Structure 1
Amino acid sequence: MTIYDLPLTSQPDECDPVRTARWLADGSARDVFCYWNRPLLDDPVLRALGAEGRNKYLRIAFPQSCAPRALSAYTDWQHSGAQVRQSHRLPPGALILTARGALLTTRSHAGLTWARTEDPGTLAALRTLAQMLWQQAEPLAQRQVVPSESEQQILITLLQGLTDQAIARRLNTSDRTVRRMVAQLMERLGAQSRFEAGVRAVERRWI
């Protein structure tokens, strides 16, 4: 499916993305969600979103591959109350979603095509997608916390499927200590299972 298959308020060739971004994220918006998986530097749509949406209602997710230096320009958004996260699971392109409607593209390169929709069914599906993407994303501060050597060893053993008792024997520590560290690591990684914690650690390049 492409954006041409969606119920659109404006056709992709007719959509003014900068004006639409400003309209979606104006001061009346109480929840502004955005994922941005395309080049960051000086993009007029992203600038428009920042100009209108620098408030506590803005949530934005960037790809994990973005360098910290590239994201430094968006620290002001956090200081204004916005929530900024990073994720390795963002679809290509970008999405800006509010109660008013959505602006989206499925392309990541220059010359991309934007579309706008206010269709209730499409917006409901996009809200479900936004919730899933936001839950999978990681706050910037948490991403920067590098695990200790013992935590890295535990993460490796989680990928190997070892039990707490086996890990404790390998690390010469108690079962209780292992259980506590595993629980903390799973919480930091936002993982629902031990194996998922190991996988996410690999994706973050922790191990």
Structure 2
Amino acid sequence: MSSTTYTSRCLSDTTELARAAARLLAADDGDVTCYWNYTSLDDPLIEVLNSSGAHLWDRDGRIRIVYPTAALSEPALGDHIAWQQGHGAEVGHSIRLPPGAMLLTAHGALVTSRPQAGCCYEEVEDAATLHALRALVRLVAQYTEPLPARGETAPTETERQLLDMLMEGLTDRAVARRLGLSERTVRRLVAQLMERLGAASRFEAGARAVERGWIE
């Protein structure tokens, strides 16, 4: 009778968690999915998500983050969400999240099921467990709603500057250099602005932004 070995490693502190996240996100492609369900507003995973050192924002592929619906009224969490959306993440909410939190990539996962503060994460890399976690993520997606569309909400200062540069005809590299962002982040932000503005080209996005009074 064959047996299956499940490999995981307990992460003892925030430093270990950040290092593990950096390893999982080292590849610059592939989707990343994360959910957070009231472990703590001081949860180290939230800080890791906002850390440029984790290589999360300089990659190809979708970045999807899901929060519990009831938490959207938390002012502190709102700041994190605004920052993540500003860097191109697809942020949603759900009333049916598992307890704890998880970061899942093509190469592994960081997961905890403890609804409490502190670093209680496990790093998971074995194929069988990752297959089960991906199935869990697909189930979560069925009960996830995107955050309300920003619609006519005024763009952020970074978005205004980006739109100005689109009108100037600057390349992604030039825009990235001026804004201090990666080229991939710039491309992701441009795609989101084009979608919001219903524009088929970058120049059209700039022109429509002028029509709406977003830029002069």
Q: TM-score, normalised by structure 2?
A: 0.56
> 2:108–2:125: 8 Å Cα contact kept in structure 1?
yes
Report whether the alignment pairs 1:125 with 2:132: yes
**Residue type of the partner of 1:139?**
P
CA separation of 1:42/1:22 partners in 2, compared to 1, >3 Å: closer, same or farther?
farther
> 2:13–2:119: 8 Å Cα contact kept in structure 1?
no
- What is aligned with 2:114? 107
- What is aligned with 1:50? 50
Q: Work out the CA distance in 2 between the residues paired with 1:29 and 1:17.
A: 21
- What is aligned with 1:37? 37
Gap runs ≥5 in structure 2: 150-216
Match of 1:84, SS state, is strand
Residues 62-141 of structure 1 aligned to structure 2 (within 5 Å): 62-68=67-73, 69=75, 70-141=77-148
CA separation of 1:47/1:26 partners in 2, compared to 1, >3 Å: closer, same or farther?
farther
Q: Work out the CA distance in 2 between the residues paired with 1:89 and 1:81.
A: 24
Q: TM-score, normalised by structure 1?
A: 0.58
Q: Work out the CA distance in 2 between the residues paired with 1:10 and 1:81.
A: 30
Q: Work out the CA distance in 1 between the residues paired with 2:40 and 2:26.
A: 21
Gap runs ≥5 in structure 1: 1-5, 143-207
Moved over 4 A (4+): 12-15
Q: Work out the CA distance in 2 between the residues paired with 1:58 and 1:130.
A: 13
- What is aligned with 1:10? 9
Q: Work out the CA distance in 1 between the residues paired with 2:80 and 2:118.
A: 23
- What is aligned with 1:183? none
Bigger Rg, which one:
1
**Residue type of the partner of 1:58?**
I
Q: Work out the CA distance in 1 between the residues paired with 2:26 and 2:83.
A: 18
> 1:54–1:77: 8 Å Cα contact kept in structure 2?
no
Match of 1:66, SS state, is helix
> 2:66–2:94: 8 Å Cα contact kept in structure 1?
yes
